[in-house]
Amino acid sequence: MPRTAVIGGGAAGFFLAINLKEMSPAMDVVIMERSRRVLAKVGLSGGGRCNCTNSFRSVADLQSVYPRGHRLMKRLFRTFDHRDAYQWFERRGVRLVTQADDCVFPASQDAHTIINLFLAEARRLGVTVKTEARISSLYELSDFDNICICTGGQPRPEGLQWLCQPVEEPVPSLFTFSIDDAALRSLMGTVVDTAAVMLPGTKLRAQGPLLITHWGMSGPAILRLSSYGARLLHDAGYQMPLVVSWTGRSEAETAAELAELSMRHGLKQLPTVRPFGMQQRLWQYLLRKALSGREHAPWGSLNKKEMNRLVNVLTADQYAISGRAPFKDEFVTCGGVALGAVSQQTLESKTHPGLYFAGEVLDVDGVTGGFNFQAAWTTAYVVAQAIAMKSK
């Protein structure tokens, strides 16, 4: 009987083992997890709700959601994509719902719905699950015909050395920004629905909701930018300038909106009329920043220079990133097993036949929104199919 070891009892490991056992029932499939619990990260994801994929309706270019590995994902999606994943879960009794932001969750809004499905399917199919199984060398797995590495992202290069493969240095990918600005941080809890953020001097830019926190800035826009600039920010010691457009609009559009408000509400004081539905506290903070001493002036009294300063603060407000703060719902790394070291069709090692990789252990990572789980489902399915076809 052919034997396959799946190292890592997380999302990619279980998805690979279940699909492989379905495709090749005679295969002896063993999941080996180093900790006491399997699927722990699935239980924490999406605030405990498990953002298991994305509708991809708003994705015109995969590079915008997979800063590393987009070409590989485009190829592998021909075999198993987000639509296949959606159907896979629903066929097994897990109803899914798609939110307005295109994120897909179990209708139960409970990550344990996914965990229970994986555990039940593994039992039904006869997949062996071993916990507290610490593997530190490929030689320990010499009894297996196939070895699938699904250990997830590794925070340090040493965690990948035992694989004997070329690697890209792992660094954090999804994180929030610490900003040493007491006045800004006093606005903690303020949400801007459509902000734009960028790292000046680069082409890196992201747009979406932004949250002001007690340490600086968070929210989807910041998390996306941290993913795009993961290696650049790491190399800079997480100290770089940041530019924020609080309106998410161009300078011309913002100037036109302010000019119209000035005409319509010329006698009203600036704090009483907020552009773009901006929250009161944030609007007052930006007024003080742009027009110190004149923040309570009537709209109609602003001269051209003052109006330009206000437009500039609204569309190109500058801050200094002073450090990296964690994002509690996800731990994602940029880096891992180099994509040039594996077959682009099967994800099998080019130097070690029978050695495969799936999930975040590869140098593939996505932005927040269900894209990392989708990468896990896709790569795991491709590996399962490759092994099943080879075993026929």
The per-residue pLDDT for range 76-96, each reduced to its tens digit, is 999 999 999 999 999 999 999
pLDDT at 198: 98
- Please state the three-class secondary structure of 33-64 as a single string: CCCCCCCHHHHHHHHHCCCCEECCCCCCCHHH
Q: Is the pLDDT of residue 330 over 70?
A: no
Q: What is the reported pTM?
A: 0.93
Confidence (pLDDT) at 331: 65
Q: What is the CA radius of gyration of the chain?
A: 24
Residue 8, C-beta contacts closer than 8 angstroms, at least 6 positions apart: 31, 32, 33, 149, 150, 151, 152, 359, 361
How many Cβ atoms from other residues are within 10 Å of residue 250's Cβ?
12
**Phi, psi (rounded to 5 degrees) for 279:** -65, 145
Cα–Cα distance, 71 to 295 (Å, whole number): 50
Please compute the mean of the pLDDT values over residues 117-126 and round it to a whole number.
98
Mean pLDDT throughout 148-176? 92
* E strand residue ranges, 156-311: 167-172, 176-179, 191-198, 205-212, 216-218, 240-245
CB burial of 40-77 (b: ≥16 within 10 Å; e: otherwise) equals ebbeebbeebbbbbbbbeebeebebbbbbbbebbeebb
Task: Look at residues 192, 203, 286, 202 and name the one whose alpha carbon lies nearest to residue 247.
Answer: 192
| Whole-number Å distance between alpha carbons of 189 and 200 | 26
Distance CA 280, CA 358 (A): 47
Give me the residues paired with residue 105 across strands: 97
Average pLDDT, the chain: 96
- Structure-token match 């051209």, residue found: 304
Each residue of 171-204: pLDDT tens digit?
Answer: 999 999 999 999 999 999 999 999 999 999 999 9
List pLDDT tens digits, range 331-389: 688 999 999 999 999 999 999 999 999 999 999 999 999 999 999 999 999 999 999 99
Per-residue pLDDT for 329 more than 70?
A: no
Residue 52: which of 94, 3, 8, 21 has the closest Cα? 94
